[in-house]
Amino acid sequence: FILGDSFTWGWGVDNEEAVFPKQLEAMLNREPGIPGAGSVEVLNGGVPGSLTGQWLELLEKHGDDFNPDVVLAVFFLRDGTNVKSIDDFFDPIRKNIVERNRASLLYRHVRVFRLAKDYVDRMLVATAYSRSINRAYFGNTKQTAEWQRAQRNLLLIRQYAESRSAAMGLIIFPVLVELNESYPFKRVCNTIADFARENDIPVHSLLPAFLGMNGSDLWVSAYDQHPNEKAHRIAAESMLPFVRALLKQADTKPFSG
């Protein structure tokens, strides 16, 4: 049972079979030695715009209907913040930039100025998003409130899974920008992973699988940074060994109910 937001749900990907939960299901059913291989079902519990509180509610409401062997929380970096969804965050900024540029004679009539201004605007937008995400994990008490809530909710999800002899794992899904050694959210990824390890939650970061790639090649469009089919495939391939291990762990656990 995979919990997550619009990245998990598959926002912007037209082919449902190309979304990583479906790809992961197909891969697991082709794997030799997987408990129940050939009949593994991966349930996509992704809810666009949701945060960990909604994931916990969904699990508590429907988890027993499915009796999952594994509960997987796919944690996009925004999920520990009060930053709005990608579109809600970027759209007002883009609108303001467009209106300002329309009013500029230089922007409308001087191509060199327009190219330079577009580059500066892209950097300003990226900096604003980076600053908002990082503040949510390393800022003051008010700024980090959602991250504190997320930690509590993830521990409750683990508690739910353990009480039903299910394995629980955490997947870290990075923001798909500047995927190089200077990745601006590396510290955030490390902080989430440290929290998981300190609380005995198996964790797998997708960042290494994406490093070295051009971020825009992984987006559904130039204006929408949700992962496209290529990114979903990379995510599924990266998490396959991790999920395989969780399934084997669940298969050997004694029932404690």
Q: What is the pLDDT of residue 93?
A: 44
Residue 130: is it exposed, middle or buried by C-beta count within 10 angstroms (0-12/13-18/19+)? middle
Per-residue pLDDT reduced to its tens digit, 106-129: 756 667 756 765 555 455 555 667
Burial 166-191 (b: 16+ CB within 10 A, else e): bbbbbbbbbbbbebeeebbbeebbeb
pTM of the model: 0.84
Instruction: Decide if pLDDT at 94 tops 90.
Output: no
Instruction: Decide if pLDDT at 96 tops 80.
Output: no
Q: What is the pLDDT of residue 114?
A: 64
E strand residue ranges, 48-88: 70-76
Residue 160: is it exposed, middle or buried by C-beta count within 10 angstroms (0-12/13-18/19+)? middle
- CB neighbour list of residue 97: distance below 8 Å, 6 or more residues apart: 121, 125
CB 241 within 8 A of CB 209: no
Instruction: Decide if pLDDT at 164 tops 60.
Output: yes
Q: Could you tell me the domains of the chain? A: 2-83+143-252 (3.40.50.1110)
Higher-confidence residue of 121 and 166: namely 166
Cα 180 to its chain centre, rounded Å, is 18
Residue 238, number of CB atoms within 10 A of its CB: 18
Give the residue among 21, 23, 27, 24 at the shortest CA–CA distance from 4.
21
Half-sphere exposure of 152 (CA within 13 A, CB side): 8
Instruction: Decide if pLDDT at 84 tops 70.
Output: no
Per-residue pLDDT reduced to its tens digit, 181-190: 999 999 999 9
Candidate from 120-129, 224-233, 242-251 with smallest mean pLDDT: 120-129
CA dihedral 194, 195, 200, 202 (to 10 degrees): -70
Backbone angles phi, psi at 200, to 5 degrees: 55, 35
**Residue with token string 């391939």:** 237
Residue 213: is it exposed, middle or buried by C-beta count within 10 angstroms (0-12/13-18/19+)? middle
Residue 208, number of CB atoms within 10 A of its CB: 11
pLDDT-derived band at 98 (thresholds 50, 70, 90) equals low
